[in-house]
Every structure is written in C-alpha cells, then in structure tokens.
Structure 1
C-alpha cells in the first residue's frame, strides 16, 4: 500500500502541519488541499497586486521546513497550492531548494486555466445551477477541474514535488495511488476507491474529529492530527493518523467527511465516477477505519469549471439594540436608512434576537440588527454610508450604537461545464510538456 498524508484542508490551515506529518511517522506522499472556490478569488486579487503571485505562499513556507526531510526519506509531495500560477509556485520552490542546497525534481501540472481561451469557450459556459448564459460578463478566473493523471505522469518521470493548479481535491490521492500501483485508465473500482480515500482526507482534520457533531467523543481536539490514507493495490484503504497525534478516526468521523459536499450516490470526477452507495466502513482498530467495496464507473463526458466574476462592493453594518422595544427600534433603523441612503442593488435587514426577557445584566439585554448592502457602484459606499450612520447618533433610537462598517469588493462564483475534449491537461517536468488525454 501507499501512505498518503494530508497536511492542509484550506489556504490558511495549520502552518506546522507539514512538519508534523513528516516527523510524526512513516508516510510515502505528503499532500494538501489549498483551493476552495473562494480561494481562487483571493489568489486573483493577489495576482492583481503582484503578477508573479497567484499561488499559496504558505505552502512554500511549509516546504522550506520539510523539503530536506522529504528528499532524505523519499517522501513525494503533491499539492494544488499552485492555484492560478503553478509554474510560479514551482519556481518559488526551486529558489527555496537552491537556498537550502537541495536539488529536488519539481514538476507542475498545467491546463486548468481557461482564461486565454475565453472567447472560444464563452458560449459554452452556461451557469450549471441556473442555466443562465455567461454572455459578455467580465471574468476574474476560469479554471477547469483537472484529474489525477497529470500527477501520475509527473511522478512516473521522477518528480519529487508536483504542484498543480485547480485539480479536483481527490486527484491529489488518485494521482499518487495510480502511479504507485500502476493502474490503468479504466481500473474503475481501484480508481473509485482512491477517489473515496482522497475525499475523506482532503479536508484535513475534518476526518479526525474537526467539525464533528459528536466532538465531545474526540480526545485531543485542541490539536488534532491530520489524516492518512493507506491505499492498497485494489483501491481499498485504511484511514488513520499518526499514533501520537490528537483527534479520532472512527466510522463516525469518516462518515461525516464522506457526506461532505455530496449530492447523490454517484460522485463525479474527471478520472472516475465513484458509487458512494457501495462503500463499506469497518473499524479495524484504534484510529483505523477500513474503506472497501467501492465500485467505480467511467467519468462523465463533461468537466466542471470554476469561474469567478467581479460582483461589485458590499458593506455590513451592525447596530446594537438595548433594553425595551427591540422590534420597534429595528424598524426605526430600517425606515431611517431607507429614507437616507441611495438605492442599492441588494439590501438585507436582519434582527438577531440575542436578548433575554427581563434581563438581569446588560450582556443579556442586547440584540443585534445587521444591515448588508451590495452594489456595483463604489460611490454608494464610503462617505455617503458613514454619514448616514453618524447622523443617527443623536437622532435615532435610545441607546444608539452603530458600527463598525466594513466595506470590500466581492466576487460571484459561476459553475459551468465543458466537454472533456476541450480541456488541455499537461504535466511539465524538466521543461518538457507531456499532454494528458481525457479519460473516455
């Protein structure tokens, strides 16, 4: 089997996790997931500030901590931390390696970025939730979800570190498992098993007790360990963690993560469709859950695309309401703002009743009134908004307290599908570009 360890569930996860997984016990591959859909928008803003950016810089920091140990122990590293700029991330890792006096073989996976082909693809990018055509809307990012075979190819050609952009989360496990076991493109059951294992560990400590409804059952949740998937040649696996690390691996924690982001029994990926209604879970020992019986089918004929559109600007204002007549005070704030402020594309007014009847102290006498505003026109924010709030200070409800106002730009997530044949997927190693054909 191959031991695939996770060290990140999102951009901003525990910085020490990579070192903890490398030093905590034997592993063969260190992986991590940095790319939520929101993260692509964050990286787009980063790239606007610095054209050489657009990748997860924390990953580079982690690799500075563990690169030498990984090379010494033969641990491969596979991460989607390349974000919008996998080549730039690979270059940053090469610089770190040079500073440390190391010579790893670093590869990256490309082809997910569709922005250079937008005019060709734009008519196809219909919103898969609403059916709305994209039209001529401006875009910040457009990335196809690639599968794991580019990772497999890079590892087969001797890569020590493989950096990807927008791959599927499970591809980080499928790619190394297929390389280690020599699977064919149509070994559906084995690939589906690796997909399930990858799905379990992709969110890091969510598989070891984090965000778990029965969290009181979890020991050491103050600092849970990250998960490991031991994937066998037939695709079956054991989900576990390093023995000395906190947290819990149980049928319950694994089930909770399996159901995360799932809409039905068929889980679609570019490499394989996994039948989640065939999964068997068995507790085989402390912090060891066997996953087997997984059946696989060919992947769908389309590839999912993550697009981020500029949405405009938004502001959120909180008012503290105290004492008596809470609903009437909220109504007065609403009437005042609607009479004072310009019209916004979207406006929401929420009364949050955190106060108690007949409170015995101030802390239980407070309610919150939240106002959320969105509009493409930045001029509607700033001074017009702050002035309207400030002028209520002596002219509004008794006990007035309003603020702070937080204003920021926001993006719109737009999911779409394109035919697999239109996706350009390639592994790049030693300046050689190896095309990866789509799975039929």
Structure 2
C-alpha cells in the first residue's frame, strides 16, 4: 500500500505588527517546516503604515526585515518557502529591501511580490467601493488607503514560478496558508472543500500564539505560556489539517485552544473569502496526540462575486483625559467632574464627546476606585487639543474630593476611520512580479462565484454573511443572576465556570464567541444565552444590535455586536477599543447554572487531570 504523502507544514511567526521578533528563528530552528508565514496587517496596521508613508517612512512592516536577516540563509538552505503580507502598502519596496538584504548577506534568493490590491487612483465611486458594508452609508471623504482583499491564487503562482520569498500587500490572512496549499496540491477553483479546509487552517494559525494557549480563557491550564510556541498547520491534500507546535515549547494545542481561535473575529458560520466560502458550522475537531488537534470535514461553497475593500480616511482629531475617582459616592463625583469641565469648554462645542466610567474596585468602600475617561473628537485640532485638556486640569482645585488625573494636559492627535466596502471581483487583477518584471496576471475567467458580499464585514479576513438565528432574543432584561430555567437545583456562579470566550474587533462591530466543554453544557448554553440575555449580562451592550449564530460542532455561539466600536479601532473612544476584554467581562457575570451541568464540567476537568497529569481544556 502506497504511503500517504507528507503534509505541508506551514508555520506562523507573526500575528500582528509588533509580535515577537525571535519567532521566525524559533520556528525555523525548532523543527522541520516547509513554509514560514507571518501576518502583519490588521485593519489598524494599514492606517499606521499610511501615517508612516506620509512622514517619508516605508509603507511596509520593517520588522519583517529583522526576521529575514535572522533566517533567510537557513530557509534557502533547507528549501523553506517564506510567504508574508508584510508588504503592506508597498509590497514592491518591501521585496526590494529583502533582495538587497539577500545581496548583503551573499545569498541568492528569488523574491516575488504581489500587487493589484491597491485601488487608490481608481474610480472608487464607480466601482461601488464607497458604500459601507456595515451601515450602507456612502463615504464622502478622500481615502488615504483603499485595498482589496486578494486570495491565495497569486501566492501560489509566485511559488510555482520559483519564488523563495513571496511578499504581498493586502491579502486575506488565510491566503498565506491557502496559497501554499494551492501550490503544493494543485487545487483549482472547483476544489471548494479543500480550499475551505485550508482557510480554516489559516484562520487558526494567523494570530500566532492565540492558537497555542495565548489569551486563552482557561489560561491556568496552559503550561509555560511565558515561552509560548507559535503554531504549525500540517496541511493535507484534502484540505484537512493538524494544528500543532514544535516540541519543547510552551503553551498547549488542544481542542479548546483551537476552538477559541476559530471564534476570533468571525461573523456568521459562512466565512466569505476571495477563494471560497468556508462553512465554519461543518468544522470537526479531534485530539490527535499531545499538542495536536485534527481539523476536518470543512465544506466549501463558491466565493462571492465581490471582493472586500478596506478603506481608511482621516476622521479629525481626538484627545482623552482620565480622572481617578475613589471612596464614596463615585457616580456623584463623576457628575461633578463633568459639570466642572464642561462649564469651561461647552460639551456641545465638540463634534463628539464620549464619557466612560469604569469601576476598578467595589464602589463606595474603603478601596473603591473608578476611572472616568472623557474623550472629545473634533475637526478642529486646536479645539480638541490644549483647549480641552487644560480645561480639565484647571478643575483640579474646584472639583470632587480626591481629584487626580492619570495624564497631563496634551495636544490632540489625528485619528483615522476604517470603512469597509466591496468591488466586483472582476475589477481587480492580482499580479506577480520578480523585481521590475511582471511574471503573472490573474484572470477572473472560470472562477466559480456565489452571491455578493453581505452587509457584515469580518475584520481582517474578508466578509462573512448569513442569517442570525436569534437577532432579538427572548428574555426580558432583569435579575442579577439569570438562568437555570426548567426546574431543578441550580448554583449561582460566574458564567466562566463552565464557558470560555474570545472576543475582538470587526471594523466598527465586535464579535464575541462563547464555547463550552460538553454536549450537555451546550444544550444548556444554546437555550440560555440569547441576544437579549447577553444584553442583560452586559448592560453596556443594551443599545446595540446583536446577531447570534450557532456553531454546534464547536459547542459554541458567536455574537456580532453592531456598532460597538463606532468607526473602527482607530476612531473608537472606548478604553477597550478592540473589544478584546468583552469575553472576559461576560465570563465574570454571575448566572444560575443547573447543578448537573456544572457537575459534567467538573467531571471532565478531573478526568483530564487524571489522564494527563495536568488539567487540559478539551473543548
């Protein structure tokens, strides 16, 4: 019997611009890999790179070059391909810098770069790109950046043409895995299930250590997290994969850690991308040994007829002052502080004013503590600058008792607005270049195509669409510890006793994924945690539209909170501007859970501890 071919081992070494610089060297030296990938391009990063470019700095991620200096020679010796979106707004410039680095090191490297995503200079209005996918509004400002999300096909073409290093601009994060999969296994546009499986594998490893125990709800079950290893996807010809990490590194790969990452920055179970629609409700996860989880069964559908476009424009200027409130009568002190400030600079004189009162310790006790953040936003830099911040400081001897601020008076800073749009897929032509020579151009002919992008953008990965199963919920708000309906004994405990959560930003929206360990817990969670119940547990969400989606195979629910982050991360005045802590806020909420459900969870945890010598969340 012929042995199955070895899988393609794709390793991640960066989850964002600013991730651990040593990760590339760790992944190359830690064990065998075939492809080294890294993701640098969050929505916010494109705006940061635009600011750099305006200041005469490179429009690409310069830390990528630091990593390349450490590993390029070893990768060439071992035949390890390098695929990265670090090209940002200038993939050609980044590729030149890599080629110059190779020359300086005496290395012979074939460096390719992918273009076609940059739509600046095009008639964006005629293409339909100015209509906001989330809100339906039309952009009336001049974009600083406008980049379509490309797929894996140009990456595969570059590798087929012999590239050792492939530098891209704005591609979907998953394309960094899907492209090498197309190259190795020859997947065509019709291989939808294989493509969908590779998208899921790419989504799991794109955020680095978040797949290996980083930022994990049950973090006490993860050993050595301070030295967390980065993830590897062993990708097979049918699109299935095994998620793992190098032996001897910290962290853990379990069904739980993989589930947590699968729920990060998604919307509906129909995960739209330029190559395929991956059905996240068909994913099957199964332990495959120590620090190994098999991902299989993913179904694919034809991609949409449009590509998502990420636009950024300047929104104005902002300034934030934070005051500390202590002791008794916290809310009364906050009202007094605001009255004193806005007596000097009228609230209505600003375009926008946002006030956030965040308790840090229990109110009205000896250790009571709260933060009062006041953010003003205005088109006039002077008005939002010292005119505001100095006015706050001037109240220091004429405000609440115990007054002190965390920040000195300062000037306003410019902020950007993220704007998700879409264009016809046929209007975008990806190209592959080796230096100044164009070696390949995409053709839309023969692409399968489904419906256009829906109204809900998914952050870094294109767009997700679908029908929420519970847009309104079924529970009236009220009660400090809801739950336990249906009779029988219950216990009042934090939801996080049985449930994990992972949350993040999706443009101006936030997503919040919640999962449990057992079928019995999921049966309870599915009936319990409606959209209205979520509002009752997190009152700050009461005024926002919420969609709920079911993912039974993952024992999970995903919620999309529309408009929580306003105009995106760069413009959000929230202290938690990326909604990273939303899941942990929910897990801290006290609810009534049937005792039988709690016993099932405790039993599983004990069983895991007994079998492994340590506690392991199994998902």
What TM-score comes out, normalization by structure 1 length? 0.95
Contact preservation (8 Å) 2:9, 2:33: yes
> Which one is further off, 148-157 or 405-414?
405-414
Residue of structure 2 equivalent to 1:370: 373
Which residue is equivalent to 2:350? 344
| Structure 1 pair 241–282 and aligned structure 2 pair: CA distance change class (3 A) | same
1:21-67: per-residue Cα shift (whole Å, max 9, x none)? 0000000000011000000000000111116x110000011000100
Give, in whole Å, the separation in 1 of the partners of 2:329 and 2:191. Answer: 66
Displacement of 1:424: 1.9
Q: 1:321 to 1:54 in 2, by over 3 A?
A: same
- Could you tell me which residue of structure 2 aligns to residue 161 of structure 1? 165
Structure 2 counterpart of 1:71 = 76
Q: TM-score, normalised by structure 2?
A: 0.68
Shift of 1:119: 5.2
Change (3 A) 1:295 1:309: same
Give the 3 Å change call, closer, same or farther, for CA 183–132 of structure 1 in structure 2. same
- 2:67 aligns with one of 62, 67, 75: 62
Q: What is residue 108 of structure 2 aligned with on the other side?
A: 103
* Larger mean Cα displacement after TM superposition, 256-265 or 107-116: 256-265
- In the TM superposition, 1:59-138 aligns within 5 A as 59-118=64-123, 121=126, 123-135=128-140, 137-138=141-142
Q: Secondary structure at the match of 1:234?
A: coil
2:331 maps to what in 1? 327
- TM-superposed CA distance for 1:323, in Å, is 2.9
Match in the other structure for 2:175: 171
Distance 1:185 1:354 in 2: 52
2:389, 2:288 → 1: CA distance?
60
Deviations 1:359-403, CA, capped at 9 Å, x for gaps: 45xxx2432211111111101033312331232122222222134
- 1:395 alignment counterpart: 398
- 1:168-194 Cα offsets, whole Å, 9 max, x none, are 000000001110112222111111111
Q: Spell out the pairing of 1:180-329 with structure 2 (5 A cutoff).
A: 180-329=184-333
Aligned to 2:596: none
Task: Write the distance in 1 (CA, Å) between the matches of 2:18 and 2:242.
Answer: 27
Pick which of 185-194 and 319-328 moved more: 319-328
Give the stretch that moved more between structures: 6-15 or 350-359: 350-359
Query: After superposition, what is the alpha-carbon deviation per residue over 1:207-254, rounded to whole angstroms, capped at 9, x for unaligned?
Result: 001111111111111111000001111111111100111111111111
Structure with the larger RCO, 1 or 2 (CA within 8 Å, 6+ apart)? 1
- The count of corresponding residues between Structure 1 and Structure 2 is 435
Structure 2 distance, partners of 1:298, 1:252, is 29
Q: Deviations over 1:152-180 (max 9, x none)?
A: 00000000000000000000000011101
* Structure 1 residue matching 2:317: 3-state secondary structure: strand
Query: In the alignment, is the contact (CA less than 8 A) between 1:109 and 1:164 conserved in 2?
Result: yes
| Cα deviation 1:107-133 (Å, max 9, x = unaligned) | 000000000214564644200111111
CA RMSD of aligned residues (A): 1.5
Identify if the C-alpha distance between structure 1 residues 358 and 299 changes in structure 2 by more than 3 Å, giving closer, same or farther.
Answer: closer
Change beyond 3 A, Cα 1:231–1:119: closer
Asked if 2 retains the 8 angstrom alpha-carbon contact of 1:226 and 1:241, the reply is yes
CA distance in structure 1 between the partners assigned to 2:425 and 2:286 by the alignment = 36
Which residue does the alignment assign to 1:437? 443
Q: What is the aligned partner in structure 2 of residue 412 from structure 1? A: 417
SS of structure 2 residue aligned to 1:25: coil
Distance (whole Å) between structure 1 residues aligned to residue 124 and residue 217 of structure 2: 46
CA contact (8 A) 1:123 1:134 kept: no
Q: In the alignment, which of 47, 50, 63 is matched to residue 53 of structure 2?
A: 47
Residue 9 (structure 1) aligns with:
15
* 1: CA distance, partners of 2:16 / 2:35: 18
SS in 2 for 1:14: coil
Question: How far apart, CA to CA, are the structure 2 residues paired with 1:357 and 1:335?
Answer: 21
Which residue of 351, 360, 380 corresponds with 1:354? 360
Q: Cα–Cα, structure 1 residues 284 and 401, in superposed 2: closer, same or farther, change >3 Å?
A: same
Query: Shift of the alpha carbon at 1:273?
Result: 1.1
The counterpart of 1:147, out of the listed 148, 151, 154, is: 151
Secondary structure class of the residue paired with 2:360:
coil
Per the TM alignment, residue 409 of structure 1 is displaced from its structure 2 partner at its CA by 1.2
